[in-house]
Amino acid sequence: MKFTKTTEQDSNYNHLEKMNLSELLNSINKEDKSVPLAVEKALPQIEKLVEQIVSKLKQGGRLFYMGAGTSGRLGILDASECPPTFGVSPDLVIGLIAGGDHAIRHAVEFAEDSLTQGWEDLKQHNITDKDVVVGIAASGTTPYVIAALEQCNENNIITGCISCNKNSPLSLTAQFPVEPIVGPEFVTGSSRMKAGTAQKLVMNMITTSTMIQLGHIKGNKMVDMQLSNNKLFDRGTKMIMAELNIPRTEAEKLLQTYKNVRLAIQNYNDGRK
């Protein structure tokens, strides 16, 4: 099957160094506007993947993101935001990056080229067939990710991917590929730009829709969020005030007692029955 790296093709722009600042910003913005449209075309693929993730998480499984470089960092970012946003365990959504935690801030030479380390990293987390592993690679050619997904397939573990090239080796390996095809980057080959934005948008959809399906949102509010600072405590207080139609002092007392918006609302209602 034909495979073309559109993410590596020459930029639609040239002589970038001769552009003034306004031209640069407007041109980057013009390219960025195409990204949501590429994601929109991939919505059916995203839906199929999320259905698998929700099913496995309801059975006690976990979601793993794994990638190298920018892709790996984006996976870690999305995973790390799930506990404070939805009040879930840090072990429910896990981000892995080629080269380990050091690679989050520093490039680790040749880490993405390993054909064995990805699976070893998953085994460190006692991966099972209850889990789902989503490989992230703009090019769709990262050996660290592809080899890990091949091992997952052999062990009856559901696999998905986010790649910005059609019919990439990664897409052909994953059981549930997602392919937002964003085309050439503004700076040729700089997949931290449009491809990275597309990957982040897709991961936002994956975890947000999954957590809603798992019951971590009430109405449109983050009732399970961690109250880790004054801003969030204030937000939680306002949620309780609005939901229960009670004054601020009573809402604050409830939140201080139960340390959780959902529990505060639930216990207030239960106490009135």
Residues labelled as active-site residues: 81, 112
Residue pair 96/165 in contact (Cβ under 8 Å)? The answer is no
Residue 159's Cβ-side half-sphere holds a number of Cα atoms within 13 Å equal to 25
- Rounded to 5°, angle at Cα 223 from 229 and 200: 80
- Looking at residue 192, its amino acid is R
Lookup: tokens for 30: 């013009």
Q: How far apart are the C-alpha atoms of 165 and 271, rounded to whole Å? A: 56
Which residue has 């913005």 as its token pair? 29
- Can you list the alpha helix ranges (DSSP code H) found in the chain? 21-32, 35-41, 43-58, 69-86, 117-123, 143-154, 169-173, 194-213, 230-244, 248-258, 261-272
**CB 141: neighbour CB atoms within 10 A?**
18
**Phi, psi (rounded to 5 degrees) for 148:** -65, -40
